[in-house]
Structure 1
Amino acid sequence: MTQEPTQFQLTTPESVASDPDAVELTRMWWSKGEPVMSIKPAFTDPRQYGHMLALAAKHMAHGYAVRHGHDERQAYNLILEGFSEILKRNDVQTVVEKE
């Protein structure tokens, strides 16, 4: 596997690295024109994952404001709009890759 360009590399936050009880729940990539992810349904209550996705959307909107100069509220609304567009579709399928 080739290494990603530096501007796309993510690092593990120190607070997570130092927490022996931390659990990784999702890894996501954009690959070959589509999202690819590895997920672990570790929460017993699926709403907790929804909470995590909502917080991720808020943090991503902030990232768009800082990195790309977007209005943070508008970026958040666009993220929610994209979320809504996918939820309305009937053609989303889960494909499990062989290990």
Structure 2
Amino acid sequence: MTALPLPNGISEPSGEDVTEVMRVWWNVDHPAMIIRPVHQDPAVVGALLAELAWHFSNAYAEKRGLAREETLAAIQGGFGEAMRLISLETTERTR
């Protein structure tokens, strides 16, 4: 599998203006990730997740022919269910 390209307008993630905040892989039945909490306000992570959901819904529409609205609703539902199951008692996500 090849790495994804850098987004348009990003030549190299360096300096203070551009920072890579996460890398995520799908590993058989669960995600594996490396994150970098760079923003002072954790609420910005929520905005980032919303942007990701929007982009994923568009990608599913373009690549798989799914309806954007239904896909976004499915993503939101999956997120809500996953958040409901998360335990803040441990440092590892339970599956």
Q: TM-score, normalised by structure 2?
A: 0.83
CA distance in 1, matches of 2:45, 2:55: 15
CA distance in 1, matches of 2:86, 2:49: 21
| Aligned residue-pair number | 89
Cα distance, 1:32 vs structure 2: 3.2
Aligned-pair Cα RMSD in Å = 1.9
Which protein has the bigger helix share?
1
User: Compared with structure 1, are the counterparts of its residues 38 and 18 closer, same or farther at alpha carbon in structure 2 (3 Å cutoff)?
Assistant: closer
1:89 aligns with 2:89: no
1:12 aligns with 2:9: no
| Moved beyond 6 Å, runs of 4+ | none
CA distance in 2, matches of 1:57, 1:79: 7
Q: TM-score, normalised by structure 1?
A: 0.79
Cα distance, 1:77 vs structure 2: 0.3
Equivalent positions of 1:30-69 (< 5 A) are 30-69=26-65
